[in-house]
């Protein structure tokens, strides 16, 4: 009966969890899509994407 499950996507910059279908701020990096809570997080990521994608693989 759970047909409205919300898929959460992590914001790589501030680690907030965002409902995927509602996130408007997205960025593609090396074939992966990243989601952001704010324009500031998106800009921070795009300034130095490898920093956040590397941390993701090491920590998670």
11 touches Zn ion by CB under 5 A: yes
Cα four-point dihedral sign 4, 60, 39, 26: negative
37 touches Zn ion by CB under 5 A: yes
C-alpha–C-alpha distance, residues 34 and 39, integer Å: 13
14 touches Zn ion by CB under 5 A: yes
18 touches Zn ion by CB under 5 A: no
Of 28, 10, 32, give the one whose Cα is nearest residue 20: 10
Closest approach of Zn ion to the CB of residue 25, in Å: 9
Using CB under 5 A as the criterion, which residues of the chain lie in contact with Zn ion when the complex forms? 11, 13-14, 16, 37, 41
């Amino acid at each position: 009966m759970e047909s409205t499950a919300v898929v959460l996507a992590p914001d790589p910059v501030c680690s907030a969890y965002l409902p995927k279908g509602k996130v408007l701020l997205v960025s593609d990096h090396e074939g992966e899509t990243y989601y952001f809570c704010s324009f500031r997080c998106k800009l921070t990521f795009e300034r130095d994407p490898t920093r956040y994608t590397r941390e993701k693989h090491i920590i998670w």
